[in-house]
Structure formats: C-alpha cells, structure tokens
A and B are shown apart, each in its own frame.
Chain A
Amino acid sequence: MAQLSADNHGLRLVVRYTVLGLIALIFVFPLVFMLMSSLKPDAQLLSDTRSLRAFLPVGDISLDNYFDAFRRAPVGLFIFNSVIVTGVTVVLTLFICSAAAFAFVFVDWRGRDLVLTLILATLIVPFETIAIPLLLIASKLPWLGFDGLTYGWLNSYQVQIIPFVADGLTIFLFVQYFKDLPGELIEAARVEGASWWQVYRRVVIPLAGPVLATAAILKFLVMYNQYLWPLMVVQEERYRPVMVGLQYFFQLNRAWGEIMAYLSLITVPVLAFYLFLQRAFIASIASTGVKG
C-alpha cells in the first residue's frame, strides 16, 4: 500500500507538525476571535480587539449574548430556513449537475459542445448582474402547490432553491473530474450491455466520492451565505434565511457581542456539514479497482 509520505522519523515528524500547526494558526484565528468575542460584554469586546486578548477567554465571560440574540431575532427559525433551502438545493444540485456532466464527458450527442460552452460561459456572469431581471421573472412564474395554480414565486422556499440548482461551477467541477476517470471502465460496462443510467449509477458515482463532497460543500457555502437574493424575494419573516437575519443586529445601537453570538450560532451547521463530509473527501482508492 503506497504511502504518500512514509517518513515517521521523530524529528521529521516534529518539523512536519510544527509547519502544519503554524499554518493552522494563521487560518483558525477568525473563528477563535468570533467565539471568544461572543462570550464577552460589548465594552470589553471592543477594547480587547486592540491586543491579543481578543483571542483569549478572559474577563467577564458569560453566555448572555446568546440569550440576548435569541430575544432579538428568531434565530432558530432563520437557521431552520437556511438549512432547508441549502439542503434541498445541494441534493438537487448533486444529482442534476453530475448527470449533466456525465452526459458531456461520456456520451456523444448532437449539440453537446455548444451547450457545454454556453454553460461554461455563464461562469462569467456574476449574480448581481442578473438579480433584477431574475426578480421580474420570478414574480411571474406559475407554481402548482397545495393551493392550486398560483403565479409568482415570491415569499417561498422554491424561489430560494430552484434558480440555483444548476450552475456552471458545479458542472465544470464534475466535468473536469470525470475526464480523469478511466474511460475503459465505461467502455467495458457498455460492452457488457449496461444502460447509460446503470453506468452512471454503478460505475461513475461510486468513483466520484471526492468530487461529490467537494461540490456539496462549495454549494452549501454559496447557498448558506446568500444575502442579496433572499432580501429581494422574501418579504415575510417566516421564510428569511440567516444572512438576512444578521441585519436584525445592525440597528442603530449595535450590539457587537450579540452579533458575534449570532454568527457563532449560524456557523455551526456549516461546520457540521463540512466535518460530516470530511471522510468522503478521501477516496477509498483500494476498493475501487482503478487501474494501475
């Protein structure tokens, strides 16, 4: 079993861990700052930022900011909305975009190159550019729901989900990854008479662990941090997601402690999702019969 770095000599190990650790310090301190600040009262929080005390749990520590944050805004509701919107979007995206990428890479069909080029071209279009026209479209679309046929998708979950299910970045991610998979496996399966769907499900998806995890976390992040679109299309509090909810704390007399507490709370789902996906980032190479 090949080891990418087989060095376990003591000194080398210490050096490695030190380097990794120093780099880790550079990357972890915002989280530490956020968490520590959420435990401090406002005045102390602000004065601590002048020094290294900002990263230490010193002074008047308590959970007061968290209680106050819950009083000021329906935090639980916002997190719930964000998790629903993000979760559904991620699941749909993984399916639809990987299927499309599969078709682009392994299937030969008329119009393939043109459609792929168009899709990749959309990578250049920043969202702010199309937000207003999209708003106009979304306010006129029909929807078949429990009340029957209604027009206008505003103030709903679907308006926050459906426009974002297919995106160029995710498709591109899958395409580049699939290109690296051995084409012979696909050939072999097709020769044995497998249908395209079987090839997709049985051959490609099991090999796609790392890219599925990557696409999932990236999409999760984008959807979870959305602000402009929910601001425009959601006017009722019951559908608001977390980043719009953050504005509740930026009233005239800002409560920085509560802001930090709120931010700490809303970071939890993202962290949890990322840690959950950690294992999938590592391909289980030994068991997949990748040719040597």
Chain B
Amino acid sequence: MKSLRLLATSIAITTAMSSAAFAQTTLTMWYHGAGNEVESSIVNQIISDFNASQSDWVVEMQSFPQAAYNDSVVAGALAGNLPDILDVDGPVMPNWAWSGYMQPLQIDEAKIANYLPGTKGVWNGELYSIGLWDAAISLVTRQSYLDELGLRTPTLAEPWTGEEFMDALAKAKASGNFDYALDLGTAWTGEWYPYAFSPFLQSFGGDIIDRSTYTSAEGVLNGDAAVAFGNWWQGLFEDGYAQATQDPADRDNGFNSGKYAFSWNGNWAALGTLDAYDDVLFLPAPDFGNGSKIGAASWQFGVSAASEHPEGASAFIEFALQDKYLAEFSNGIGLIPATASAAAMTENYKEGGPLAVFFDLSEAQALVRPVTPGYVVAAKVFEKALADIANGADVQDALDSAVDEIDADVAKNDNYGF
C-alpha cells in the first residue's frame, strides 16, 4: 500500500513538474537593434530579467537592422509570419494598426500615467504601443559662436523669432568662418524630412494634413501659411544658408568639425557633439508665428494581431516599463527617458545634466506627426515636395500637387476609416 501511494505521489509530482515546464510558452519578439550593440544589450538584459522573474513565458528575440526593419515587418505580415511582440516607429503605428498587424495592449494604464505624451501610441481611442524613450530635435550651436556673432541666447520661454533666426544665419554667413550657416541634414533622406521639417511648417501655421478631419490636406498644406513656409524654405537654399544636396559624411561629421554654425539635429547625435566641444548649446526651435514646435515619438513596443498569447506579450511590455530600464536606455543611446523620475536617474537628463534641456523641450514643444494610417504615404509626398522646393520648384505648384496626391490616397483607402 505504502509503495503504491509513494508511486502515485511521485507520478503526480512528476506530472505537475512537467506540466509546469510545458506551461512555459515561448514568445517571439522582433527588435530593430541589430548592429547597435548598446541597444541590443539592454534589450537582452530586459528579456533575461523577465524570463527569470516568472515561469509562464520565455521571450526570444530576433534582431533586425533598423534600415530594413519596416520592410521586413511588412513582408512578414504578407507571409503571415509575424512575431508576438514587435516594436514599431511611432508615426507608422496607426498604419500597422489599421492594416491589422497589431492589437491593443493589455497593460495597466496607471503605469504609464506619467509618460511623455509622445511615447504613447494611441489609435482609435486604444493604446497600441508604448515607448521607453522619446526623441527630440534642437538647434545645436556653441556659446562661442553666439558670442562672436553677437547674438542673444534664446531660452525655452523666449525662443528666437523667425526674423532673429534669419538674422543669425545672415551673420553666420557674413562672418566667412563656416562653409554653410545651417546644417539641416538634407543628406538623411527618408523619415527625417517630415520628422525634422514639418515642425517648421507647423510653426508657420500649416500642417501635413488637416488634423480636424484627417481626410484632406487642402488649405493646410497649400494655404497661405504653408506657402509662406515654402518660400522661407526655398530661401534657405537660394540664399546659400544651407545645402539642398548634402554629403552624408558632412551630416555625420560636419558640425563637429566646424563646417556649420548651426545644426538642426536630434538628441541621438548629441553625445558625439558633447565630445567634440565643451560649450555646446541646445537651443529651442525658432518661432515663426505659431509657437516653436519639434517632433516627437520614437520606437515603441506593441503586440501583433496574430499573436496567440497577447496577455504574455503585454506582460513583457509591462515588465519593461520600469524606471531603471528607461534610465539605462537613456544613458546608452542618449534619448529622452519617458518619465521624469527615470530622467533623474540618468547622467544626461537629471537636473543640470547636459541634455536636460531636451526633456523640457519635449514637454513644452513636442507635436506628434499626424496620427493616421495615411501618414506613410503623406510623409513620402511631403518629403518629395520639400526636396523639390529646395531644388527650385514653384512653391505653390509643389504644394498643390502634394495636396492632390495626399487627398487622392486618402480617398482611395476609404478615408482610412475616418
């Protein structure tokens, strides 16, 4: 009898243990960090911590190079081969959500209450993605340049007006010390153009698409404010303040080697500049009449629609929302941590830290790119319009045809559900 009971108990225990082992489900995850050692190591750290902290889920990550990531996801979606967890670039998320690649997150919303608005990916009233950091842009220059040229140092409360900014550029050009007054980064074709330059358009009073309806760009992209922006934009190149075609090497290295007086660049490049000079200033964007604006929203985590374990995927994402990870990312790649409490833990964004100004900039001036599935097309159209205007095309014509194309695309897609 006793041996039978022992046998039964041991069988029961073994079964219980193996079913616990079976209960560990694998979640696949795609991340865009291949080739970026710092980001990859932090993400791997989060994954191993998560795997160790509980026994229901095991996350496995597949790394992709950033430049190829979006195409890989689209191809994966076509082939029916998406992972459970994926990360998505903020402005692209509405398109993926509408296309049916993603499902809403199942996380405790209280945890993200303090997060910067740009880090939350909301579409159709639901939270689809959440980011651990945000990215911001500023006008980079050196205190010594401002002093030499006799310029006032703008502050967050009192940024330069449009006239002051043009005056600064004119003085920089006249001094003869620089190849060009302004480094806009025209070498970085792609998403940089709408991200970096639509804030100027918005500061003039225009926009890529009418955000009250999201069904047309008429009047906002080709109205008076937009044409004023277009003329200003064309003037930058015609008057020789900036280059319409730029060497990628100049973009990466130009400001740090003294070619430019001002550089319009993001905080991911800030660490390099801090190394090059010791009197670097990160100035707010100039105000062209409608307030200073900068872009927002970077990479965010989400759950794919085809995932069979959305609760596990969401559990992982919720786990990653800890201040210590936010701080690690920020220290590693130089981007803004999503909460103020995490910022206090970082080297660069704590009170008085060299990049702390970005946190305030982001809070005060950030405007996300238009939240619509049509953004993918609108961004490309806008980029082309900017490039054409920079190369000398007629401003009104270029903007008109951009509006026509955006409107046509929206109509073709049944207004993207609006």
Contact = CB atoms under 8 A, between A and B. Distances in A.
Contacts of A43: 253, 257
A221 B72 CA distance: 23
A283 interface: no
Interface in A192-236: 231-233, 235-236
Given A235-B62, A253-B272, A248 B35 contact: yes
**Main SS class of interface, B:** helix
Contact of B65 (A42, A236, A248): A248
A251 B75 CA distance: 21
B76 interface: yes
A43 B252 CA distance: 10
B376 to A, nearest CB: 16
**Main SS class of interface, A:** helix
Nearest to B37: A72
B68 A244 contact: yes
A247 B75 contact: no
Q: Most chain-B Cβ atoms within 10 A of its Cβ — which of A73, A231, A251, A256?
A: A251
Nearest to B64: A235
Contacts of A135: 75, 78-79
A251 B78 CA distance: 26
Contacts of A132: 78
Which bracket fits the contact residues of A? 20 to 34
Contacts of B79: 135-136, 138-139, 152, 154, 232-233
A244 B65 contact: yes
Interface string A150-194: 001010000000000000000000000000000000000000000
A251 B65 contact: yes
Contacts, number: 81
A121 B248 CA distance: 40
A252 interface: yes
B289 to A, nearest CB: 32
Contacts of B36: 251-252
A72 B66 CA distance: 14
A9 interface: no
A291 interface: no
Interface in A249-268: 249-254, 256
A47 B71 CA distance: 33
A49 interface: yes
A189 B269 CA distance: 72
Contacts of A252: 36, 66, 268-269
Contacts of B75: 135, 231-233
Contacts of A152: 79, 81
Interface string B244-258: 000011001100010
A256 B81 contact: no
Interface in B55-92: 62-68, 71-72, 75-76, 78-81
A73 B35 CA distance: 6
B34 interface: yes
Q: Most chain-A Cβ atoms within 10 A of its Cβ — which of B64, B79, B272?
A: B79
Contacts of B72: 231-232, 235
A154 B272 contact: no
A250 B67 contact: yes
Contact of A136 (B34, B78, B272): B78
Nearest to B276: A43
A283 to B, nearest CB: 43
B78 A248 contact: no
A135 B78 CA distance: 8
A247 B62 contact: no
A73 B33 CA distance: 11
A232 B34 contact: no
Contacts of A46: 249, 252-253
A237 interface: yes
Contacts of A12: none
Given A73-B35, A139-B79, A231-B68, 18 more contacts: A43-B253, A132-B78, A135-B79, A138-B79, A152-B79, A231-B71, A232-B75, A232-B79, A235-B30, A237-B34, A247-B34, A248-B34, A248-B65, A250-B66, A251-B35, A252-B66, A252-B268, A256-B252
Interface of A: 42-43, 46-47, 49, 71-73, 132, 135-136, 138-139, 152, 154, 231-233, 235-237, 244-245, 247-254, 256
14 contacts: A43-B257, A72-B35, A135-B78, A136-B78, A139-B78, A139-B80, A152-B81, A233-B75, A244-B68, A247-B67, A250-B65, A252-B269, A253-B268, A256-B249
